[in-house]
C-alpha cells in the first residue's frame, strides 16, 4: 500500500510539473486576464485530460495487451488513430465551441481581411502527443526490461542456492557415509549388487556436478537421477518400508528444471520413513503432451514432526519460490497435510 501511495504521489507531481510548463516558458502578456483565459479554458482542460488519458491507456492497456504480445500492426494502427484524433482536437474544438485564442483587449482593429482557418492537424498537439507517446512507451519498455533482468538474476541465484543446498544436504558426508557403508557390506559379502550400487552413486554425483548447472534438462535424465537416488536410499531401509515409483507416459523430448522433484522425495524419506511402523512411500510421475504431473505420498508417524518449511535441503518453500521464478503461472502446487498422511501434488504446463 505504501508503494502504491508513493507511485500516485510521483505521478501527480510529474503531471503537475508538465502542466505548469506553459506558465514557465510562455511569454506573459500585460493583460493577465488573457493568460488565465488561455490556460484555464475548457480547451486547456479537455486537451490535457485527453493527453493524460492516452498516457495511461498506452502504458497499462495497449503496451501490455498488444505490444508485449508482438501485435505490432494493431498497436501501430491504434496509435496512429489516436494521433490523428488528438491532432484534430483544436479544429474540432474550434468548430463546436469557437475560437481557441481570446483577443487581447485594446488591440487596434485591422482593416485587412482575416481568413483564418484552423489546420486539420495541429502541429502543437501532434508534437505533445508524440512526446508523451515516446515517454510512456520508453518508461514501460525500460521498466519491463529491468524487471526481466531482475527476474533472470533471481532465477540464477535460486539455481545456485538449489545446487549448493543439494550438495550440502543430500550429497553430504552423512549420506555418503551410509551409502559407502552399505556398498562396503555388499563388497564384503561379495554381493553382485556392489558394482551397480557404486555406479548409481557415481551417476548421482556426475548428474549434480554437470547437469544441475543447466536451466533445463531432459526429463528422462531427471527420472533416471531420481531412480538412482531411490535405489541408494532403499539400501538403508528395513522391511517396514516400501518405495513405489511409477512413471506413466513418454518423457522423450520433454524438458524440466533440474533437481525439481528431489526436495519432495527427500521430504518423504526424511519424515515418512520409520523403523518401527509400516512406511510406504508412493511416487507418481505422469507425463502428457503438454503437462507433467508429479506426486509424492507418505505416512506420518507419531514419533516424527512434519515441518513443511524445513531447514534441510532446498525445502518445499524454497522449491515453491523456484517454481514461481521458472514456471510463473504455468504450475500448480498443492499439499495435502492430513493427520496420518502427507501428499504433494505438482502439475507443470510445458
Q: What angle do CA 305, 309, 315 make, to 5 degrees?
A: 110
The reply to whether 78 and 179 lie within a common domain is: no
Do 89 and 229 fall into the same domain? no
Co-location of 312 and 260 in the same domain: yes
Do 190 and 126 share a structural domain? no
In a domain, 161, yes or no: no
What is the residue-level pLDDT of the chain in tens, covering all 350 positions?
677 787 788 778 878 777 776 665 554 444 444 444 444 467 777 888 888 888 889 888 888 888 888 888 998 999 999 988 888 888 787 777 765 554 444 455 555 444 445 567 788 788 888 888 888 888 888 888 888 888 888 887 777 666 656 544 544 455 567 678 878 888 888 888 888 888 888 888 888 778 777 778 999 999 998 998 898 888 777 788 899 999 999 999 999 988 889 888 888 888 888 878 888 999 999 999 899 999 999 988 765 544 443 444 346 777 887 888 788 889 999 999 888 899 999 999 98
Cell numbers 501527480 correspond to 12
Please report the pLDDT score of residue 118 as a whole number.
55
Residue 110, in any domain of the structure: no
Which pLDDT does position 304 carry in this prediction? Answer: 55
Output the pLDDT for position 63.
87
- In this structure, the answer to whether residues 339 and 242 fall within a common structural domain is yes
Distance in angstroms (rounded) separating the CA atoms of residues 284 and 15: 57
Domains: count for the chain: 2
Contact criterion met (CB below 8 Å) for 75 and 67: yes
**What is the enclosing helix (H) or strand (E) of 62?**
none
Q: Are residues 249 and 344 in the same domain?
A: yes
Q: Collapsing DSSP states into helix, strand and coil, what is residue 117?
A: coil
CA triplet 185, 187, 193: central angle to 5 degrees?
95
Examine the domain organization and report whether 144 and 210 are in the same domain: no
List the CATH number of the domain containing 201. 3.30.565.10
Let me know if 36 is exposed, middle or buried by CB neighbors in 10 A (0-12, 13-18, 19+). Answer: exposed
**Is position 307 within any domain?**
yes
| Whether 69 and 132 share a structural domain | yes
Q: What is the DSSP string of 309-327?
A: S-SSSSHHHHHHHHHHHHH
Q: What is the pLDDT of residue 345?
A: 96
d(CA 285, CA 346): 10
Q: Would 64 be classed as within a structural domain?
A: yes
Looking at residue 31, its pLDDT comes to 44
Within a domain: 70: yes
pLDDT reported for residue 311:
44
Same-domain pairing of 143 and 41: yes
What pLDDT, on the 0 to 100 scale, is given for residue 268?
A: 87
Is there a single domain that holds both residue 184 and residue 146? no
Domain residues for the domain of 176 are 170-349
Please tell me the predicted confidence (pLDDT) of residue 99: 59
Q: What is the pTM of this model?
A: 0.53
Amino acid at each position: 500500500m505504501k508503494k502504491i501511495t508513493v507511485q500516485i504521489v510521483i505521478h501527480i507531481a510529474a503531471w503537475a510539473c508538465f502542466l505548469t510548463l506553459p506558465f514557465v516558458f510562455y511569454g506573459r502578456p500585460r493583460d493577465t486576464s488573457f493568460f488565465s483565459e488561455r490556460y484555464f479554458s475548457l480547451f486547456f482542460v479537455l486537451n490535457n485530460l485527453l493527453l493524460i488519458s492516452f498516457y495511461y491507456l498506452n502504458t497499462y492497456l495497449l503496451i501490455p495487451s498488444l505490444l508485449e504480445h508482438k501485435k505490432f500492426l494493431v498497436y501501430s494502427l491504434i496509435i496512429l488513430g489516436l494521433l490523428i484524433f488528438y491532432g484534430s482536437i483544436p479544429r474540432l474544438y474550434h468548430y463546436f465551441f469557437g475560437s481557441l485564442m481570446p483577443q487581447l483587449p485594446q488591440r487596434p482593429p485591422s482593416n485587412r481581411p482575416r481568413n483564418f482557418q484552423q489546420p486539420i492537424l495541429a502541429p502543437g498537439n501532434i508534437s505533445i502527443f508524440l512526446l508523451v507517446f515516446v515517454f510512456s512507451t520508453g518508461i514501460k519498455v525500460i521498466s519491463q526490461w529491468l524487471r526481466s533482468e531482475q527476474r533472470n538474476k533471481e532465477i540464477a541465484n535460486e539455481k545456485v542456492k538449489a545446487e549448493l543446498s543439494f550438495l550440502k544436504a543430500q550429497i553430504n558426508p552423512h549420506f555418503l557415509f551410509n551409502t559407502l557403508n552399505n556398498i562396503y557390506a555388499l563388497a564384503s559379502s561379495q554381493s553382485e549388487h556392489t558394482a551397480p550400487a557404486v555406479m548409481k552413486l557415481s551417476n548421482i554425483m556426475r548428474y549434480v556436478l554437470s547437469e544441475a548447472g543447466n536451466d533445463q534438462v531432459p526429463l528422462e535424465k531427471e527420472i533416471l537421477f531420481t531412480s538412482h537416488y531411490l535405489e541408494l536410499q532403499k539400501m538403508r531401509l528395513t522391511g517396514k518400508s516400501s518405495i513405489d515409483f511409477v512413471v506413466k507416459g513418454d518423457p522423450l523430448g520433454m524438458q524440466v528444471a533440474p533437481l525439481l522433484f528431489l526436495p519432495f522425495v527427500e521430504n518423504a524419506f526424511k519424515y515418512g520413513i520409520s523403523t518401527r511402523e509400516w512406511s510406504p512411500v508412493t511416487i507418481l510421475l505422469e507425463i502428457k503432451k503438454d503437462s507433467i504431473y508429479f506426486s509424492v505420498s507418505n505416512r506420518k508417524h507419531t514419533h516424527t514432526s512434519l515441518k513443511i518449511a524445513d531447514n534441510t535441503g532446498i525445502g518445499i518453500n524454497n522449491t515453491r519460490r523456484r517454481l514461481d521464478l521458472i514456471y510463473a503461472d504455468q504450475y500448480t502446487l498443492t499439499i495435502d497435510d492430513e493427520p496420518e498422511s502427507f501428499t504433494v501434488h505438482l502439475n507443470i504446463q510445458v
